[in-house]
Amino acid sequence: MNKKKTISSWGNYPVHEARVVELSAILQNLQTLDSEQQKITFGNGRSYGDAPLSDTIISTSTQNKIYDFDSDSGLLHCESGLLIEDIINQFLPRGWFPQVVPGTKQVSVGGAIAADIHGKNHHKKGSFSESVESLTLVLPDGSCVSCSRDSNVDLFQATCGGMGLTGIISDVKLKLMKVKSRNVIQNVHRTSSLKDTIDFFMKKDESDYSVAWVDTSCDIESMGRAVIQTGAFAGDGDLDYHPKPAISVSDFVPAFLLNDSTISVFNTLYYNLVGRESSNQKITAESFFFPLDKIRDWNRLYGDSGFRQFQVIFPLESSFDGIKALFKAMKKHELISYLAVLKLYGKQNENLLSFPMEGFSIAMDFKNKPGTSALFKHFDEITTSYSGRIYLAKDASMSRECFEAGYPNADKFRQLRKEYGMDKTFNSLQSKRLGL
Ligand SMILES: Cc1cc2nc3c(=O)[nH]c(=O)nc-3n(C[C@H](O)[C@H](O)[C@H](O)COP(=O)(O)OP(=O)(O)OC[C@H]3O[C@@H](n4cnc5c(N)ncnc54)[C@H](O)[C@@H]3O)c2cc1C
């Protein structure tokens, strides 16, 4: 019997005591799978809440083999524990890049599928699953099935976005896209209010990639003013890719320096100085896609109690009012978000629990302290009032009512879990809380 370990995901909230089993050990003896209750797969712990936490954690950290790569079609066959970082390190110098990347490279392919992650190009390329040709899923009875848009479609649509609750993704066939450079041509625009920010995305954004850093420290009238980055891969043929090693927080800044006052000053400075408008600036893909990865353990800056992210998406017609209501709630609760990011998304896909829908999403980070839970409860109510949906990969506290209202396919998902016996085998703290 493995010893229990204290484990948490990126937000360091909540923490949980769990027994850790390597997926490689399970794959050697698939009969062992069914005997345990309360288990869930753990990728690289870059979700923020309780989705990868359970009494037994199945770790994919050593499952990072590349089986095959077709350099004509860009089709990569790999194990599910392979990180986006490994893919970029190996394939960017050869002119290939994942079609969808999140804001960190430290995400496993299995985790990217289970959360059906989105990137700065959702309006153009959709979610991560759009680049998945097929995946192998280990079911509760130990059988392995191949799922795609053509075979075992019900399992494919439940697994992409299904937060590990349908089984273990063991290996994946993934389409990479051709790029001509390790660089991105970036434009930076500045807006003066939430309305201005939303108008920019609706009227002017035709770029391949776009995202807005939002100032939430200013007065309520200006709140939502933003620095918007748009970009596209350069065509300069420069594929000389050598990522710089990340530095550690403890090397240069003590955790107590991150507080409401320093963040307000930082936000004002960022908006006025760093976020100056510019056009056609060539920067590395590293800096454009993964600025936070420059500091390896920035989550530690929030201290021992950790932090929580609230990420919601609203349909187009209620986005402005919904986001405005969140800002007002923040003011009312006298809490400030340390980092806020806004983006326009494209159409929803067919997966049962995928987060994106056509509309605006905002993600806001909060230090976990007295009052944060009350604010998040208020956020739940606002989400439901404005027909929104909270992202499961960032969630540690959503109420069941808010989940049911935001995810209309929840019952279909439950039914499928029951049919395959998944509800007896794969459970996380999140699935228990949400009654999945
Ligand atoms: C700095 C930062 C920026 C981010 N930016 C974005 C972003 O832009 N867009 C976005 O969508 N997300 C973003 N995320 C969230 C992240 O992409 C997702 O939470 C992703 O799921 C994390 O992958 P992981 O490998 O760390 O998985 P974990 O966090 O370990 O697990 C996440 C979920 O995936 C399941 N899972 C993991 N591996 C498997 C497997 N092999 N089989 C079955 N289920 C599995 C787990 O059970 C769990 O439910 C960001 C996270 C960070 C820390």
pLDDT of residue 102 exceeding 90: yes
pLDDT of residue 277: 80
Q: What is the pTM of this model?
A: 0.97
Name the residue with higher pLDDT: 307 or 267: 307
Residues 204 and 282 in one domain: yes
C-beta 307 within 6 A of ligand 1:
no
Are 162 and 221 in a shared domain? no
- 214-233: average pLDDT: 95
| pLDDT one-digit tens code per residue, 284-314 | 999 999 999 998 888 988 888 999 999 999 9
Name which residue leads in pLDDT, 268 or 305. Answer: 305
Of 1-10, 76-85, 90-99, 403-412, which range is least confident?
A: 1-10
Cα–ligand 1 centroid distance for 224 (angstroms) = 27
**Residue 262, domain CATH:** 3.30.70.2520
CATH number at residue 149: 3.30.465.10
- Is residue 285 domain-shared with residue 356, that is, in the same domain? yes
Within 10 angstroms of residue 371's Cβ, the number of other Cβ atoms is 13
Helix (H) or strand (E) holding 109: helix 109-114
Do 216 and 146 fall within a single domain? no
**For residue 69, what are the CA distances in angstroms to 90, 293, 406?**
11, 27, 38
36 pLDDT above the threshold of 90: no
Q: In the listed set 131, 156, 179, which residue is the last one of a domain according to the structure?
A: 179
Residue 26 within any structural domain of the chain? no
pLDDT interval class at 117 (50, 70, 90): very high
pLDDT at position 12: 95
Whether the pLDDT of residue 267 is over 90: the answer is no
Contacts of 203 (CB under 8 A, 6+ apart): none
pLDDT higher than threshold 70 for residue 85: yes
pLDDT of residue 29: 84
| Confidence at residue 314, expressed as pLDDT on a 0 to 100 scale | 98
- By residue range, what is the domain housing residue 272? 183-406
- Distance (angstroms) between ligand 1 centre and the Cα of 87 equals 16
Query: Can you tell me the distance from the alpha carbon of 353 to that of 161, in angstroms, rounded to the nearest whole number?
Result: 5
Q: What is the pLDDT of residues 139-156, one digit of tens each?
A: 999 999 999 999 999 999
Ligand 1 test: best mutation among 80, 82, 117, most atoms within 8 Å of CB? 117
Task: Answer yes or no: is 44 within a domain.
Answer: no
Best of 24, 42, 434 for a ligand 1 pocket test (most atoms within 8 Å of beta carbon): 42
pLDDT at 304: 87
Q: How far is the CA of 111 from the centre of ligand 1 (A)?
A: 4
Give the domain-ending residue among 150, 179, 208. Answer: 179
Q: Do 289 and 346 belong together in one domain? A: yes
- Residue 104 CA, ligand 1 centroid: distance in Å: 10
| Residue 137, CA distances (Å) to 23, 93, 95, 140, 186 in order | 13, 31, 30, 10, 39
CA of 159 from ligand 1 middle (Å) equals: 13
Burial 219-250 (b: 16+ CB within 10 A, else e): eeeebbbbbbbbbbbbeeeeeebebeebeebe
Instruction: Tell me: do 341 and 277 sit in the same domain.
Output: yes
Whole-number pLDDT of residue 270: 80
Q: Give the number of the atom of ligand 1 that is nearest the alpha carbon of residue 40.
A: 47
Q: Is residue 244 part of a domain?
A: yes
Rounded to 5, what percent of the chain is helix, strand, coil? 35, 25, 40
Shared domain for 167 and 219, answered yes or no, is no
Average pLDDT, the chain: 94
User: What share of the chain has pLDDT > 90, as a percent?
Assistant: 84
Is residue 164 lining ligand 1, measured as CB closer than 6 Å? yes
In this predicted structure, the answer to whether residue 252 has a pLDDT above a threshold of 70 is: no
Atom of ligand 1 nearest to the CA of 63: 41
pLDDT at 250: 67
Q: Does any domain span residue 196? A: yes
Q: Three-class SS of residue 157?
A: helix
Indicate whether 308 and 236 sit together in one domain.
yes
Which residue's CA is the nearest one to ligand 1's atom 35?
164
Is 192 inside any structural domain? yes
Question: What does the pLDDT read at residue 271?
Answer: 80
Indicate which atom in ligand 1 lies nearest the CA of residue 164.
Answer: 44
- Cβ of 49 less than 6 Å from ligand 1: no
Section 352-361 average pLDDT: 98
Number of domains comprising the chain: 2
Given a contact cutoff of 8 angstroms between Cβ atoms, the answer to whether 109 and 171 are in contact is no
Q: Do 173 and 187 sit in the same domain of this protein?
A: no
Among 159, 179, 199, residue at a domain's last position: 179
Pocket lining: 45 vs ligand 1, CB cutoff 6 Å: yes
Same domain, 74 and 104: yes
Task: Specify whether 189 is located in the same domain as 295.
Answer: yes
Q: End-to-end CA distance of the chain: give it in Å, rounded.
A: 28
Ligand 1 pocket test, candidate residues 12, 38, 46, 99, most atoms within 8 A of CB: 46
C-alpha 385 to ligand 1 mean position (Å): 27
Residue 32 domain flag: no
Q: Residue 228 — pLDDT band, cuts 50, 70, 90?
A: very high
Q: From ligand 1's centre to the CA of 400, what distance in Å?
A: 21
What is the C-alpha to C-alpha distance for residues 345 and 122, in angstroms, rounded to an integer? 5
pLDDT tens digits along 154-205 = 999 999 999 999 999 999 999 999 999 999 999 999 999 999 999 999 987 6
Ligand 1 near 388 CB (within 6 A):
no
59 CB near ligand 1 (under 6 Å)? no
Query: Would residue 423 count as lying in a domain?
Result: no
Are 120 and 195 in a shared domain? no
Please indicate, yes or no, if residue 47 is contained in any of the structural domains. Answer: no
